Chain A
Amino acid sequence: MKAAIRLTRVGPSATIQDTGRPGMLQHGVSESGPMDRGAFLRAGMSLGGAGAAIEFTRAGLDFSIEQGSCRAALAGGSFTLACNGAPAAWPAMLDLQPGDQVSITPGAGGNYGYLRFDQEIDVPAVLGSRSTNLVAALGGLAGRALRAGDGLGLTSLGPATTQSPSRPPNESGPIRFLWGIHADLFPPAVRQAFVGSEFTVSSQLDRMGVRLDDRGGVFAGAPILSLVSDAIVAGDIQILGDRTPIVLMRDHQPTGGYPRIGTVISADLDRFAQMRPGSTLAFAPVTLQKAHELFVASVL
Chain B
Amino acid sequence: MPLGDRGLLVRFGRTLSDDANRAAIAFARQLRARLPDGVREIDPNLVSVLLTYDPRVMAFERLAGEVRLLLSVAPGAASKAVPGAQRIAVTFGGEGGPDLEEAAAALKLSPAEFVAAHNSTPLRVLTTGFAPGFVYCGFHPEALRLPRRTTVRPPVPPGSILFAAGQTAITATAVRTGWHVIGRSAFRNFDPSADPPTKLLEGDSVTFVVET
Contacts and interface: CB of A to CB of B under 8 A. Distances in A.
B131 interface: yes
B4 A266 contact: yes
Indicate the member of B56, B132, B134 with the most A CB atoms within 10 Å: B132
Contacts of A26: 41-44, 128
Nearest to B194: A127
B55 to A, nearest CB: 4
Contacts of A29: 132, 197
B4 A22 contact: no
B3 A136 contact: no
A230 B131 CA distance: 13
A289 B42 CA distance: 22
Contacts of A135: 131
A291 B5 CA distance: 6
Contacts of A23: 40-41
Interface in A16-33: 22-29
A265 B6 CA distance: 9
Instruction: Determine chain B's interface SS by DSSP, over half rule.
Output: loop
A178 B4 contact: yes
Contact of B197 (A27, A180, A288, A299): A27
Interface residues of B, number: 43
Nearest to B135: A28
A28 B46 contact: no
Contacts of A136: 131-132, 173
A255 B45 contact: yes
A229 B46 contact: yes
A264 B197 CA distance: 30
Nearest to A26: B43
Contacts of B45: 229-231, 255
A24 B42 CA distance: 9
A254 B129 contact: yes
B60 A288 contact: yes
A255 B127 CA distance: 11
Interface string A232-249: 011110000000000000
Indicate the size class of the contact surface on chain A. Answer: 35 or more
Interface in A283-300: 288, 291-292, 295-296, 299
Contacts of A47: none
B154 interface: no
Contacts of A296: 55-56
B129 A127 contact: no
Interface string B4-28: 1111010101111000000000000
Interface string A253-268: 1110000000111100
Given A22-B40, A266-B5, 15 more contacts: A28-B128, A28-B131, A29-B197, A135-B131, A136-B173, A137-B173, A181-B9, A230-B9, A231-B7, A231-B45, A231-B50, A233-B7, A263-B4, A288-B5, A288-B60
Interface of A: 22-29, 126-127, 135-138, 178, 180-181, 227-231, 233-236, 253-255, 263-266, 288, 291-292, 295-296, 299
14 contacts: A22-B41, A26-B128, A27-B133, A136-B132, A138-B192, A181-B9, A229-B130, A230-B9, A230-B45, A233-B6, A235-B4, A254-B131, A255-B130, A265-B4
Q: Shortest 7 CB-CB distances between A and B: which pairs?
A: A255-B129, A263-B4, A25-B43, A291-B5, A231-B50, A23-B41, A292-B55
Interface of B: 1-7, 9, 11, 13-16, 40-48, 50, 52, 55-56, 60, 127-134, 172-173, 190, 192-193, 196-198
